[in-house]
Amino acid sequence: MTTLQTPPETEHSGKAETEAMAEALAPAWGWKQPYGGRASHVEPAPEFQATTMQVCGLYPFTAGSGTPTVGTPVGRHQLWGEVVCLDPLAWLRAGLVTNPGMFVLGQPGTGKSTLVKRLVTGAVATGTTPIILGDTKPDYTMLVEYLGGQVIRVGRGVDRINPLDAGPMATVLRGLSGADAAALRWEVRSRRLSLLLALATLVREARISNAEEVVLGRAIDLLDQGLRDDPTVIDVLKILEEGPAELRSAARTDSVDAYRRQTRDLIFTLDLLVSGSLAGVFDAPTTHALDLGAPAISVDISRVRAAGDKLLTAAMLCTWAYAFGTVDASAALAELGAGPRRSHLGVMDELWRALRGAPGLVEHADALTRLNRAKGMASIMITHSLADLDALATEEDRAKAKGFADRSAITVLAGLPPRELARVHEITPLTGPEQHLVTSWSAPDSWQPGARHPGRGKYLIKTGERLGIPVELSLVGPEFALYDTDQAVRGTS
């Protein structure tokens, strides 16, 4: 900008000199001539967006943020406006991360589920099968139905899940022999025993003893040898009550009475699984098997919420175990050439609900998810706060639960308060500006009714020591209805 002035005439009077200078100063919009003076308003320069391949030779002044372009588009970079893409499996294949684990943290209402739903939609579009491992509200049922996927509704009077169901692994076993068959048979046994122990721990609200675990494992072995179909919890309870010689030997007892005393607590615990608060859900064969050929799968467990946290936790644990077992079977079939090679995206929402049920449940969840990379499966764990994990019963459980976040290569932060970010910083390093940005999304700055939450749809994507990617998601088309989690609230107003 230039300001042109004509030299004022020399005046002896100060007043006359000031008036002459004022007359010589160019008006705000300048004189109507080239280089005619100042301007109080400057129009912004025109902005154009295109790929660097198109504009690098045409116009040299291009700028980019270097954001990933592989995966599902999840929004635009908040500073540069570039499209940001995210997909744990796609990032792993591109070498951007070392494992396909993703951990999402954010206050309620900031859009955690919205981001995950966008990733679910993108996964379907790219041939990955999303599996919602226990939809508690439900948030994902409408989307999965819209995508043409399978919805299984677990609860009394609807669908059931058998905790001892081998699923497609039984099909794989029929095609194997020798060492391979023996190894897979032990894997099936291990999964059955692990889940049964987790459910028993949940019901008892204490760990199962070593002696009880030995007896329970031997009971499963006897049922596997004697039954043609998958055993159920009722079958396990019956054989424990009968107390055959093999079980008395496993219990290290010499008489029937000693065996009864040794297994009394275990029998009552299993009885609670089929006649107590969990009755009608896990005491019969599985109603509908997971269809891995479906575009997406959702296990809706919202109907069991009214029965309390114990039943909800049990439903989540069974869903996780059954789904991961099905994925393992799919991978085994692909190795044998008996099925297509598939990739999966497991969504574990409301993570804290399943982990706080009883001591030791964290170990069960950790064992299920630790080897996801080898299975071609990505996992997304969602919770409100790391403080949710502090409510776990033991220090050992709390340490393992924090390992979920530590082991995830991708951390996504929605709006969080400063005290929470201080804890996140211990796991995922955050710069000062990054912490300030995420904090600014945590609370509305206005009391005006209907004001948009400042953190709605805004996320910081962190991977290791790299600077975070601030992204803002914008909904398009049917997403406004499919991703809406507040319909019930608006419907009553």
**114/131 Cα distance (integer angstroms):** 16
Residue type, position 443, single letter: A
6: pLDDT confidence band, cut at 50, 70 and 90? very low
For residue 88, give the nearest of 406, 323, 365, 380 by alpha carbon. Answer: 380
What was the pLDDT predicted at 5? 45
Whether 359 has a pLDDT exceeding 80, the answer reads no
Residues with Cβ within 8 Å of residue 391, at least 6 apart in sequence: 352, 356
Out of 127-141, 297-311, 387-401, 472-486, give the one with best mean pLDDT. Answer: 127-141
pLDDT in the model for residue 69: 87
Q: Does the structure show a pLDDT above 70 at 21?
A: no
Predicted confidence (pLDDT) at residue 438 exceeds the cutoff of 80: yes
Whether 344 shows a pLDDT value over 90: the answer reads yes
Question: What integer pLDDT is reported at residue 430 of this predicted model?
Answer: 93
Whether residue 14 is predicted with pLDDT greater than 80 in this model: the reply is no
3-class secondary structure, 305: helix
Instruction: Find out whether 105 and 412 touch, Cβ atoms under 8 Å.
Output: yes
List, in sequence order, every residue forming a beta bridge with 345; answer none if it has no partner: 130, 378
* pLDDT higher at 205 or 100: 100
Using the predicted structure, report yes or no on whether residue 184 has a pLDDT greater than 90: no
Per-residue confidence band for 8, with pLDDT thresholds at 50, 70 and 90: very low
Split at pLDDT 50, 70, 90, the class of 399 is confident
DSSP state of 441: T
Q: Is the pLDDT of residue 452 over 80?
A: no
Between 356 and 342, name the one with better pLDDT: 342
Please report which confidence band the pLDDT of residue 248 belongs to, taking 50, 70 and 90 as the band edges.
very high
Report how far residue 128's alpha carbon sits from residue 376's, in angstroms, rounded to the nearest whole number: 10
Average pLDDT over residues 384-409: 81
Give per-residue pLDDT as tens, 213-223.
999 999 999 99
Span 474-487, average pLDDT: 84
- Average pLDDT rounded to a whole number, residues 183-197: 86
Is the CATH number of domain 72-159+291-491 3.40.50.300?
yes
Residue 23's pLDDT band, with cuts at 50, 70 and 90, is low
Per-chain mean pLDDT for the chain: 83
pLDDT per residue as tens digits for the range 129-164: 999 988 988 899 999 999 999 999 988 888 988 989
Q: So what's the pLDDT on residue 7?
A: 46
Which of 2-6, 22-26, 59-63, 307-311 is the most confident on average? 307-311
pLDDT band at 4 (very low <50, low <70, confident <90, very high): very low
- Residue 263's pLDDT is what? 94
Enumerate the H helices of 94-251 as residue ranges: 112-125, 141-146, 169-174, 178-204, 210-226, 233-242, 245-250
Q: What number is the average pLDDT over the span 300-305?
A: 84
Which pLDDT score is estimated for 3? 43
- Residue 84 — φ and ψ, nearest 5°? -110, 135
* Angle, in degrees to the nearest 10, between helices 418-427 and 432-440: 140
Q: State the average pLDDT over residues 22-40.
A: 68
More confident residue, 185 or 220: 220
Q: How confident is the model at residue 171 (pLDDT cuts 50, 70, 90)?
A: confident
Query: What pLDDT does residue 32 have?
Result: 75
Query: What is the percent of the chain where pLDDT is above 90?
Result: 37
Q: Using the predicted structure, report yes or no on whether residue 11 has a pLDDT greater than 50.
A: no
28 C-beta neighbours (distance < 10 Å), count: 10
Quick one: pLDDT at residue 63? 56
Mean of pLDDT values over 193-200: 87
pLDDT in tens, 97-125: 998 999 999 988 889 999 999 999 999 99
Pair of tokens at residue 259:
């065996």
Pick the more confident residue, 112 or 356.
112
Numbered ranges of CATH 3.40.50.300 in the chain = 72-159+291-491
Nearest alpha carbon to residue 388 among 162, 103, 149, 25: 103
Q: What is the pLDDT of residues 62-80, one digit of tens each?
A: 555 578 889 999 999 998 8
> Is residue 175 predicted with pLDDT exceeding 70?
yes
Smallest Cα–Cα separation from 281: which of 146, 164, 161, 119?
161
Q: What number is the average pLDDT over the span 395-402?
A: 81
Residue 58: how many other CB atoms lie within 10 Å: 9
Please report which confidence band the pLDDT of residue 307 belongs to, taking 50, 70 and 90 as the band edges. low
**What is the predicted pLDDT for the residue at 260?**
94
SS3 460: strand
